[in-house]
Chain A
Amino acid sequence: MFKVAVIGSGPAAFYTAQHLLKSRSNVSIHMFEKLATPFGLVRFGIAADHQDAKKVANKFDELATHYQKEGRFQFVGGVEVVGSEDADAVANASLSQRRLPFSLLRKNYDVVIAAYGAESAKTMPLKQGRAVSAHDFVQWVNGHPDSIGHSDMFAHHLEAETAVVVGHGNVALDVARVLLDDVDSLRRTDVPDNVLQVLAESKVRHVRLVARRGPFQMAFTAKELREMTKLPNASYMPNELLSSEPYKSSDSLPWLDRSPKRLMQILHGSGDAKAIKSKSWALDWYLSPHQILQDENTKSIKAIQFQKTSPVSSVVPFGSKIELVPNEFVDMPCGLVISSLGYTGLPLPNCSEDLPFDARSGVIPNIQGRVIDPATKAPIEGLYASGWIKRGAVGVIAATMYDAVETADSILADLETAKPDASKQGFAGIQAHLGGKAVSYDGWKVLDEHERKEGAKRGKLREKVVDLKSAMRIIDMGDK
């Protein structure tokens, strides 16, 4: 058996594992996940009103169940893989914060795959004031353990009538939909009860989505933008910029890609001024966030000030390069500012030597999934990357799947000429360092069932156990 360790248990981890397990019978996989629960952003990122997209978890569940029975798959939850650390400290850590040195994985497995995602939010530089991060908002709505206790904070934020979301990507739309849609549309999903309560009290009526660059640089997918134009309670307020050239005749621009063309078609075909709904949303372009303006006395947010930008017209596609317009500022009144500038990867905590990392692009340097030494560009034997930490934080699950298959293919090709290393002990070599029991896949199933039961009582899909300690208690009681 080739012993394979995967760090992370999101779509990249599962799709890579699937391809390996199906292609070779002499591969066994251990999947290390820092949280108690598998599936990564499927559980904690994908929007609650996109339950169809979350169904992929069923596929991963089938896979895990099947190969666990075969004895070739094991989930090791509640274990964070970190850089080289004092082994004693690791062994003594409490159950909910178990940490496993990366070097131990390397020592005990033939193949190590980094598939731990790109979980950090890019921050928005401001001269003054701080924006709420879309990352935190999404985690809160999805019941991520890190969002425990955030409901009070968001209750306060959602007293604003107008919210400005900076960034033109799908996550910005996910946030906008939660703010604009009727909370009733979320009641049957997996949004935690206390979050629903806060959303029900939200005063937000108007959302403006703002970007530094132009309409042709919007990074939405057509599907999500169309969904936005069909919100039952919120009307789209067209921006007059779109009725000017070159945006007006985007369809006939030879240098414009299909994707921005499609987005423009959707916008051109939307916005019926007659059907005014109780809420509204709008898009703004060529504005660079400058500072947040607060009321002197109450300290509450009054507006966000932008500096205007303008496209460098010689650069095609139009708007891809912009410059700040000196001394031209715009104040946009609002009570809440959310920054949604995307995600970026981080190195494993305290891990500098063993696993290379390119801080500039936020990924692990690799060629087709083979991690390379940044200096020599030579592949490091037995070390691979997959998913967002390999490619950067872009792309839907389908893209992550293609990417995972590429990595798996590289591994499979390398295994053709390799022999399992007898000195690699696999899980036996690290068990002692874990200092107790990790969450097994059966353990997760206990929690899963608990959540579904609690959800059923409330007429919803599931009621997530947000607090990690409670989750561990439920798992421990059920998984003997």
Chain B
Amino acid sequence: MVHPQLLKSAAIVDTDEDDNAFTKYRDKAYQYDDEDCDYNIEMFECYNIKKWNQRTSAQMLLGAPSPYQPETSEGLPQVHLNTAKRSGGILEDVPTQSTTFDRQSETVSSTAILVLINNYAVSYIQQDGTKKTVYAKDGWNLLDLAHSNNIELEGACEGSLACSTCHIVMQKEFYEKLEEPSDEENDMLDLGHLLGCSMAFTLTSKHILTHYQNKDLDSVAKLK
């Protein structure tokens, strides 16, 4: 359940398309972040380092879940506030100016993150340096998510935790909030890095993110 107060706060946040707005918003959100809440909101920096020497930074924004599940096409949610509004319900009081939500846009409206996304928004910084923000559902991992959105991220072993080509780097501060990677994942990585195919979104964990081990990938696929 989304905390009603949080929703309200979302409604009053300025939807300026910049990260400051997000930070402001996040600070507000934190006021309501307590043990009973089954959502959380975090901002992540991550780096796609398919090219070792051309590290580009990526921002990954994790939004809290909304009870509303938007329509999906080919498994991916089509996020659009108008759709959300049409479906009625709890989203009624969201200001209309946040309807301009562009899936391809470089920046993300922080308000949109909270109220629109069925579960999570993730921004990948791609090899050419551009940012692409996409939406994930519970159970998706970063590799599948990238691929379903035409974001280039190699996955040579198809998510079997056997090749490490789906390598992603995340800012240490946020990386440390994740659960410890499994020994198997850790064996393949340098500190502060993670494998796109091993990290799936889940709401059950306190940290939102859980590392899925090899054997769990089947269940991840089913969730899809």
Contacts and interface: CB of A to CB of B under 8 A. Distances in A.
A53 interface: yes
B51 A226 contact: no
B191 A397 contact: no
B217 to A, nearest CB: 11
Contacts of A221: 187-188
A35 interface: no
Given A222-B188, A226-B183, A401-B156, A52 B51 contact: no
Given A52-B157, A262-B187, A401 B162 contact: no
Interface stretch (A54-62, A95-103, A187-195, A328-336): A54-62
A405 B190 CA distance: 20
Given A53-B163, A222-B188, A223-B184, A402 B51 contact: yes
Given A50-B162, A402-B52, A405-B50, A223 B187 contact: yes
Contact of B163 (A258, A396, A402): A396
B160 interface: yes
Contact of A401 (B165, B183, B188): B165
Interface in B153-209: 154-158, 160-165, 167, 183-184, 186-188, 190-191
Given A56-B163, A405-B50, A397 B184 contact: no
A417 B170 CA distance: 36
Contact of A396 (B155, B164, B191): B164
If over half of A's interface residues share one DSSP class (helix, strand or loop), that class is named, otherwise mixed; here it is: helix
A397 B156 contact: yes
Contacts of B158: 52, 55, 58
A398 B162 contact: no
A378 to B, nearest CB: 23
A52 B157 CA distance: 5
Interface size class on chain A is: 20 to 34
A222 B191 CA distance: 14
A397 B155 CA distance: 11
Contacts of B164: 396, 398
Interface string B143-155: 0000000000011
Nearest to B214: A52
A427 B30 CA distance: 64
A258 B190 contact: yes
A402 B191 CA distance: 19
A226 B184 contact: yes
Interface string A255-296: 000100010000000000000000000000000000000000
A50 B52 CA distance: 25
Nearest to B51: A405
A226 B183 CA distance: 9
Which of B183, B186, B187, B188 counts the most chain A CB atoms within 10 A?
B187
B156 A55 contact: yes
Nearest to A402: B52
A398 B156 contact: yes
Contacts of B156: 53, 55-56, 59, 397-398, 401
A365 to B, nearest CB: 21
Contact of A223 (B52, B165, B188, B190): B188
Given A53-B163, A262-B187, 8 more contacts: A50-B162, A52-B161, A55-B162, A59-B155, A222-B186, A258-B191, A262-B186, A397-B165
Counting from the closest, the 9 A-B pairs by CB-CB distance are A222-B187, A52-B160, A52-B162, A56-B156, A223-B187, A398-B165, A398-B164, A53-B162, A52-B157
Interface of B: 50-52, 154-158, 160-165, 167, 183-184, 186-188, 190-191
14 contacts: A52-B160, A52-B161, A52-B162, A53-B156, A53-B157, A55-B163, A221-B187, A221-B188, A223-B188, A226-B183, A262-B187, A396-B164, A398-B163, A401-B50
